[in-house]
Amino acid sequence: MRLEMGHIYIKDIQFADSSKIENGVLYVSREEAAAVALEDEKIKNVVFDIAKPGESVRITPVKDVIEPRVKVSGRGGVFPGVLAKVDTVGSGTTYALKGMAVVTAGKIVGFQEGIIDMSGPGADYTPFSKTLNLVMVCEPQEGLEPHEYEAAVRFAGFRVAAYVGELARELTPDETKVYETCTIKEGLEKYPDLPRVAYVQMLQSQGLLHDTYVYGVDAKKILPTILSPTETMDGAIVSGNCVSACDKNPTYVHQNNPVVEDLFAQHGKTLNFVCQIITNENVYLADKMRSSDWTAKLCAMLDLDGAIVSQEGFGNPDTDLIMNCKKIEAEGVKTVIITDEYAGRDGKSQSLADADEAADAVITGGNANEVVILPKMDKVIGTLDYVNKIAGASEDTLRADGSLEVELQVITGATNETGFNKLSAR
Amino acid sequence: MVKEIERAGIPVVHICTVTPISMTVGANRIVPAIAIPHPLGNPALDKDEEKALRRSIIEKALGALTTEVSGQTIFE
């Protein structure tokens, strides 16, 4: 599959009477964008705001972060099976608005969403302090159950991102990158001497708002399968998460997965990037066993030499990670696993809930229990009402001077397990 | 906790969903549970069925508690 990604750099976002992109500036009509968000009657009200890097702004509770895109040629559309009709994406041409994001916020469950600081020490810990953020705070109709509200906000975010992306359809990209994968046979013929490597991506699928969707299918209902990595780049996987924000993948991370990007950079040079394998992290032991069996089986059938396995989340998915690692290694395929750690505030506790000797090449996204102080910000987009209850906070989190004492867990993307952030350890 | 209570001389049955973790941490008597969000029940069942399910897990655990083991054992 061959995908051309046209990058359009956004240098500023401003509210205006009508929406357009001109000379790298995104102008957004609040009325038009609100009409898109409010297409779903489950959402009572939406308030748009703009947060820029370096501003004294705190966004919370953050649900998702999305990169606006438009599909200009080739099969499928933006977020296939979710917004666009089901069709296989990953080929043709897609434009992405770089340097900006749509951020959905508002209290869904309150204690499970994240924080993005646009300046100060908190900004260093989230990749989304570096993007110009069009923030939409969504308020539900009264009586709406949290899971219905989650779905409504998830879809509203995608609709607004697609609306913004559509503004770029007639533009000329500032830069175009081409990503091309081979079929199995082509790969063998073209790169007979290069090691065959796949990316095994574990998708969060524990349920209760720990969910991921693949072409609109709830990932807890999939069996492990194969994707062209260009499908992932083209929006095949989206987030439905509302939980410990530090190590769940917002949709933006799926669209810009660094493991995919970096494997492509080496494709045909030091390795043959054969494909992406997706699997899940379910809450039944039989599912964990079945999915890891299938993942290892696919690795063997593809005659891989190596696999990079990334986890999403923590706790019982540590077992899925170790099962995948053990079983893939048992097929004679070398693995590197990417995870993060819950090693206690002092960093002295066991980092993962499970372990095995086969896991001898491990990359960490950092210790999510590490405590940081986030100074008071001049402006809050959303609300601080839930900041003492958010996972990684405590009743003493909000201090008298307005600062927050929190674990990294609360910060969106802080210990991301695809290497999307900068934290690690040696 | 399982190991500390056993260290004090009291046998323990660990009812848990992810039995491999229980094996890794060193429990001796392990009874599989249903699922992580609902280890001792199943909301998909009706009340009578669920009560029978819950009772069967507890009875299995009590049985395990009174069974001599020579090493780590999962009571399927």
pLDDT tens per residue across span A322-339: 999 999 999 999 999 999
Chain A partners within 8 Å of B17 (Cβ)? 283-285, 316
* Closest C-alpha to A296, from A336, A330, A263, A259: A330
Residue A242 annotated in active site: yes
Tens of pLDDT along A55-76?
999 999 999 999 999 999 999 9
Q: How far is CA B24 from CA A256, A329, A392, B14, in A?
A: 35, 19, 26, 13
> In this structure, are residues A344 and A314 in contact, taking their beta carbons and an 8 Å threshold?
no
Half-sphere exposure of residue A92: CA atoms within 13 angstroms, side-chain side:
17
This prediction has a pTM of 0.95
Cα angle, residue B8 at apex, residues B6 and B10 outer, rounded to 5°: 50
**Residue at A238 is within a domain:** yes
Of A208, A283, A353, which is closest to B21 when you measure between CB atoms?
A353
Chain A partners within 8 Å of B32 (Cβ)? 285
Chain B partners within 8 Å of A354 (Cβ)? 18, 20-21, 24
Q: Is A349 on the interface with B (CB under 8 A)?
A: no
Q: How far is CA A29 from CA A16, A45, A51, A83, A256, in A?
A: 5, 16, 16, 21, 27
**Residue at A424 is within a domain:** no
Of A207, A319, A355, which is closest to B18 when you measure between CB atoms?
A319
Q: Please tell me which residue, A80 or A108, carries the higher pLDDT value.
A: A80
Number of domains chain A contains: 1
Tens of pLDDT along A175-189?
999 999 999 999 999
Chain A partners within 8 Å of B34 (Cβ)? 284
Over 90: is that where the pLDDT of A389 sits?
no
What local confidence, expressed as pLDDT, does residue A275 receive?
98
Spans of chain B, pLDDT less than 70: none
Cβ contact, residue pair A208, B37, below 8 Å: yes
Over 80: is that where the pLDDT of A215 sits?
yes
Q: What is the 3-state secondary structure (H, E, C) of B38-62?
A: CCCCCCCCCHHHHHHHHHHHHHHHH
> In this structure, are residues A339 and A305 in contact, taking their beta carbons and an 8 Å threshold?
no
What's the mean pLDDT when you consider all of chain A? 96
Question: How many angstroms separate the CA of residue A93 from the nearest CA in chain B?
Answer: 42
What local confidence, expressed as pLDDT, does residue A70 receive?
98
Over 80: is that where the pLDDT of A426 sits?
no
Cβ contact, residue pair B36, A355, below 8 Å: no
Structural domain range at position A341: 2-410
Over 80: is that where the pLDDT of A111 sits?
no
Spacing of C-alpha A260 from chain mean position = 13
Q: Is the ipTM of this complex over 0.90?
A: no
**Residue at A352 is within a domain:** yes
Chain A partners within 8 Å of B35 (Cβ)? 283-284
What local confidence, expressed as pLDDT, does residue A110 receive?
64
Chain A partners within 8 Å of B21 (Cβ)? 316, 318-319, 353-354
Which residue's structure tokens are 């674990």?
A407
**Residue at A426 is within a domain:** no
Cα angle, residue A200 at apex, residues A189 and A104 outer, rounded to 5°: 125
**Residue at A126 is within a domain:** yes
d(CA A294, CA A226): 11
Judged by average pLDDT, the poorest of A76-80, A95-99, A350-354 is A350-354
Name the band, by pLDDT with cuts 50, 70 and 90, for residue A106. Answer: confident
* Closest C-alpha to A280, from A205, A211, A175, A347: A205
Of A207, A208, A285, which is closest to B18 when you measure between CB atoms?
A285
Over 70: is that where the pLDDT of A287 sits?
yes
> In this structure, are residues A363 and A337 in contact, taking their beta carbons and an 8 Å threshold?
yes
**Residue at A418 is within a domain:** no
Over 70: is that where the pLDDT of A116 sits?
yes
Average pLDDT over residues A290-302: 98
Tens of pLDDT along A138-177?
999 999 998 899 999 999 999 999 999 999 999 999 999 9
Q: Is A354 on the interface with B (CB under 8 A)?
A: yes
What local confidence, expressed as pLDDT, does residue A425 receive?
80
Residues 6+ positions from A222 with CB-CB distance below 8 Å: A214, A278, A280
Cβ contact, residue pair B18, A316, below 8 Å: yes
Chain B partners within 8 Å of A284 (Cβ)? 17, 34-35
Cβ contact, residue pair A355, B21, below 8 Å: no
Question: How many angstroms separate the CA of residue B67 from the nearest CA in chain A?
Answer: 24
Question: How many angstroms separate the CA of residue A282 from the nearest CA in chain B?
Answer: 9
Q: Is A206 on the interface with B (CB under 8 A)?
A: yes
Q: Which chain A residue shows the shortest CA-CA distance from B19?
A: A285
**Residue at A187 is within a domain:** yes
Catalytic position from the list A138, A182, A242, A325: A242
What local confidence, expressed as pLDDT, does residue A108 receive?
80
**Residue at A421 is within a domain:** no
Q: Is A285 on the interface with B (CB under 8 A)?
A: yes
Amino acid letter, residue A90: G
Cβ contact, residue pair A206, B18, below 8 Å: no
Q: Which chain A residue shows the shortest CA-CA distance from B16?
A: A285
Q: Which chain A residue shows the shortest CA-CA distance from B34?
A: A284
Handedness of CA A211, A212, A215, A218 (dihedral sign): negative
